[in-house]
Amino acid sequence: MQSIEKQIERSIKSKPKGSLVLPDDYLSYGTSTAVRKALDRLEDKKVIIRVAQGIYVRPKISKLIGQLVPSAEEVAEAIAKRDRIRTLPTGSYALNALGLSTQVPMNIVLLTDGSPRVIKVGKRKIKFKKTTPKNLMAKGKISRLVIQALKEIGNNKVTDEEERKILALLAKEEEKDLKHDIALAPVWIQNIMKKALTDGKN
C-alpha cells in the first residue's frame, strides 16, 4: 500500500502545479480502493487538495492571492473525461464561452448523456442536466455552442450586433460540421446560421 502511495505521490509531483488529479489516472497502480486510500492520505499531507468529489488538484500558490484552485470550467472538463460522458454548455455559459456575454455565470449548466447531478466548486456550481441524444449530436465546436446561445437569447430577440458576432464565429467552423449542425437546430436558428454559409460563398 505504501508503494502505491509513493508511486502516486511521485507521479503527482512530476506534474505542473495546478494540474487536476483523477483517481482513474492511477488505476494501473492498484485497485480503485487502494488508489482512493492513497489519494486520501496525500490529501492529508497537503500534496493534493480535493476540489470536488473524486477530483483533486496539485496546489498552486500565488504570492499575491495565495492558493489557486482550478476553475469550475476545468473541473467540468475533468468530470466529462473521467466519466466518459458528452457534455454541451448551455444558457448563459454558452453565451460566455462564445464571447457574447462578459458575465461569468455563477452556475454552469451542461447538457449531458451522463447522470444528472450538481457539483459544487468553491462558490460556483456545475449542473449536469440529462438531455436527449439529439441535443448532443452537434459536431462543430462553435456551431454547437451557437445553437445553445441562440436558444438562451430567444426567438426575435437577437440583436444585429449579436448576429454579426455569431456569423463571424461561424465563419471559422468547418462547413461540413456547420451544415450537419444547422439541420439539428430549430427553424428560426437555422435561418440565422444559414447566413454563415451564403456569406462564406460571396
Q: What is the pLDDT of residues 19-36, one digit of tens each?
A: 999 999 999 999 999 999
So what's the architecture of 2-68 in CATH? Orthogonal Bundle (1.10)
% residues pLDDT > 90 (the chain): 83
Q: What is the pLDDT of residues 67-90, one digit of tens each?
A: 888 999 999 999 998 899 999 999
User: Is 97's pLDDT higher than 50?
Assistant: yes
Question: Region 9-28: what's the mean pLDDT?
Answer: 94
What pairs with residue 20 in β-bridges?
57
User: Is 198's pLDDT higher than 90?
Assistant: no
For the chain, what's the residue count? 202
Q: State the pLDDT at residue 2.
A: 59
DSSP string, 33-81: HHHHHHHHHHHHTTSSEEEETTEEE--EEETTTEEE---HHHHHHHHHH
Question: Region 1-19: what's the mean pLDDT?
Answer: 90
Where are the domain boundaries for CATH 1.10.10 in the chain?
Answer: 2-68
Sign of dihedral through CA atoms 132, 128, 79, 97?
positive
% residues pLDDT > 70 (the chain): 97
Q: Which cell numbers hold the place of 189?
A: 436558428
Q: Please state, rounded to an integer, the average pLDDT across all residues of the chain.
A: 92
Q: What is the pLDDT of residues 54-65, one digit of tens each?
A: 999 999 988 887
Q: Using 50, 70 and 90 to split pLDDT, how confident is the model at 202?
A: very low
Q: What is the pLDDT of residues 180-197, one digit of tens each?
A: 999 999 999 999 999 999
DSSP string, 126-176: EEEEE--GGGG----HHHHHHHHHHHHH-TT---HHHHHHHHHHHTTS-HH
